[in-house]
Amino acid sequence: MRLNVSAHLPPSPGRTPTLLLSLTALLALVGGLLLALPGPATAAADPVISGGKATTSSSDESSSFGPENAVDGDPATRWASAEGKDPQWLRIDLGANASVSRVRLVWEAAYAKAYRVETSADGVAWTTIAQETAGNGGTDDLTALTGTGRYLRVYGTARGTEYGYSLFEAEVYGTLDSTPPPTGAFTVVAAGDIAAQCTASDSNCAHPKTAKLAQQLNPKFYLTMGDNQYDDARLSDFRAYYDKTWGAFKAKTRPVPGNHETYDPAGSLSGYKSYFGSIAYPKGKSYYSYDEGNWHFVALDSNSFDKAEQINWLKADLAANSKKCIAAYFHHPLFSSGGHGNELVSKPVWKILYGAKADVVLGGHDHHYERFAPQDPEGKAKADGIVQIVGGMGGAEPYPIEEIQPNSQKRISGPYGVLKMDFDDTGYAWSYIGVDGKVKDTSPKYSCH
């Protein structure tokens, strides 16, 4: 409130303005007291929590305009979607559950006229926390938001131009859940049947696309379930094709061979061994094991399941294991609804794994995605059985589903993609993600035996 005392009490000639002076002094005193009193505490602004986080998008105009550009903090780089198509989206994995209070979007000339900002706990079910229906580009600073979730998505439904959607920056502000994740929690990306003899210059070539998705997911490490390189897995083919895509993260890859690796004219597994070296042969054999968190991983060569040396090694390895949870992976799946069908060569290994209370087995060979309910080596559903996943959609030509096997819960043939496996101290779950960034299937959460 503003008080103008002199306007109401003009001094008379020859008279000391006692009342005026008194009021002036009073106001000065009050003003001084008001200045001295502490004001309400101002809450510190929430920090940016999206910088450098893993991103996926519905499409990219080219490899130079990937979604990671929108969270790199560089105002000169940008994500740009394919032109002339609606809807399009950009998704950010914040890495943990978060409370989102603000989202700042810096649009390039290709902006969204209409879009939603959404959050999700699992990347599947989405909740809208902000919506724009008459956007005009520039910078949209969306404040006073109350969203929660691990994932945030900017979902464009109407373009403001004839082009696509393009963001210089997508800044998410808020607070990440301070609850620490379970000790040893980690993510793995997995796929089999990967590099056909083609490159990114061929629009129909799939392994550059699965490699890009795999890299964006930024896991602890990668698993490959064999047939890494087609057709005969020569060293020259590995260098010409696989190395240009999945080879970008070779140092973080834990591979196993498939049957195509045995076709090398230079000798069975020759190109495979030369290319991967000690990564695939850490102890001089084409099979090995390692630990991560509370998990024991067993990487096997299913081309030699009939050799006593590997079988005896497997028994001894599992007997020495001290981890609570066990995962195994190899090329030939015991159960499959695809063209190759059930591979009985893997049954003796399944019996050993089942006896050791293994939890999950991953395979390839058939070029489709499939998950099975827990079962024993005879194919009988058992609560304490092994969960099997076929993940042969890494880049080779898809195979059709032919004869659906008992206990098969989900089958997808056609869309290429990768498995995103989430492990923690007591269990695991996974999603099958297509190269379009969409989650095609999500598993139940399983506990370790």
Domain-wise residue ranges, the chain = 54-176, 186-447
Which residues pair with residue 407 across a beta bridge?
A: none
Share the mean pLDDT of the chain: 90
Task: Tell me the average pLDDT across 401-417.
Answer: 96
Long-range CB pairs of 271-278, under 8 A, 24+ apart, other chains included: 271/229, 271/232, 271/233, 271/234, 271/235, 271/236, 271/237, 271/238, 272/228, 272/229, 272/233, 272/238, 274/235, 274/238, 275/229, 275/235, 275/238, 275/239, 275/242, 275/243, 276/250
| Cα of 255 vs its chain's centroid, Å | 20
Q: How far is CA 30 from CA 6, 19, 24, 40, 278, in A?
A: 17, 16, 10, 18, 79
Name the band, by pLDDT with cuts 50, 70 and 90, for residue 305.
very high
β pairing state of 288-292 and 295-299: antiparallel
Task: Tell me the average pLDDT across 268-275.
Answer: 98
Output the pLDDT for position 179: 65
**What fold does the segment set 54-176 form as a domain?**
Jelly Rolls (2.60.120)
Task: Note if the bond before 231 is cis, omega within 30 degrees.
Answer: yes
By percentage, how much of the chain surpasses pLDDT 90?
A: 84
Q: Say if residue 116's pLDDT is above 80.
A: yes
Q: Say if residue 12's pLDDT is above 70.
A: no
**Distance of alpha carbon 175 from alpha carbon 48, whole angstroms:** 8
- Write the pLDDT tens digit of every residue in 63-113: 899 999 999 999 999 999 999 999 999 999 998 899 999 999 999 999 999
Closest to 89 (Cα-Cα) out of 59, 63, 111: 59
**Distance of alpha carbon 289 from alpha carbon 346, whole angstroms:** 18
CB atoms within 10 A of CB 359: 24
Could you give the 3-state DSSP secondary structure of residue 291? strand
**Using the 8-state DSSP alphabet, how is residue 386 labeled?**
B
Structure tokens at 154: 């900017």
**CB-based burial of residue 139 (10 Å sphere; 0-12 exposed, 13-18 middle, 19+ buried)?**
exposed
Give the DSSP per-residue string, 151-219: EEEEEEEEESSSS--EEEEEEEEEEE--SPPPTT-EEEEEE-S-B-S--TTSTT--HHHHHHHHHHH--
- Say if CB 17 and CB 5 are below 8 A apart: no
The pTM (predicted TM-score) of the whole model is: 0.65
**Distance of alpha carbon 375 from alpha carbon 380, whole angstroms:** 5
By percentage, how much of the chain surpasses pLDDT 70?
A: 89
More confident residue, 60 or 239: 239
Task: Tell me the average pLDDT across 17-38.
Answer: 44
Q: Say if residue 277's pLDDT is above 70.
A: yes
Output the pLDDT for position 8: 38
**CB-based burial of residue 197 (10 Å sphere; 0-12 exposed, 13-18 middle, 19+ buried)?**
middle
- Say if CB 327 and CB 355 are below 8 A apart: no
Name the band, by pLDDT with cuts 50, 70 and 90, for residue 15.
very low
Output the pLDDT for position 30: 43
- Write the pLDDT tens digit of every residue in 215-254: 999 999 999 999 999 999 999 999 999 999 999 999 999 9
Name the band, by pLDDT with cuts 50, 70 and 90, for residue 3.
very low
Q: Say if residue 26's pLDDT is above 80.
A: no
Mean pLDDT check: name the lowest of 44-58, 155-169, 278-292.
44-58
- Cβ neighbors of 307 (< 8 A, separation 6 or more) are none
Output the pLDDT for position 351: 98
- Write the pLDDT tens digit of every residue in 122-153: 887 899 999 999 999 999 999 999 999 999 99
Name the band, by pLDDT with cuts 50, 70 and 90, for residue 44.
low
- Write the pLDDT tens digit of every residue in 85-98: 999 999 999 988 99
Q: Is the dihedral of CA 329, 187, 255, 91 positive or negative?
A: positive
Give the H or E element holding residue 248.
none
Name the band, by pLDDT with cuts 50, 70 and 90, for residue 184.
confident
- Say if CB 235 and CB 443 are below 8 A apart: no
Range 10-40 burial, b when 16+ CB lie within 10 A, else e: eeeeeeeeeeeeebeeeeeeeeeeeeeeeee
Task: Tell me the average pLDDT across 244-269.
Answer: 98
Any idea what the Cα angle at residue 215 is, between residues 409 and 412, rounded to 5°?
20
- Say if CB 372 and CB 433 are below 8 A apart: no
Q: How far is CA 79 from CA 52, 67, 134, 203, 388, in A?
A: 14, 5, 21, 20, 37
In terms of CATH, what superfamily is 186-447?
A: Metallo-dependent phosphatases (3.60.21.10)
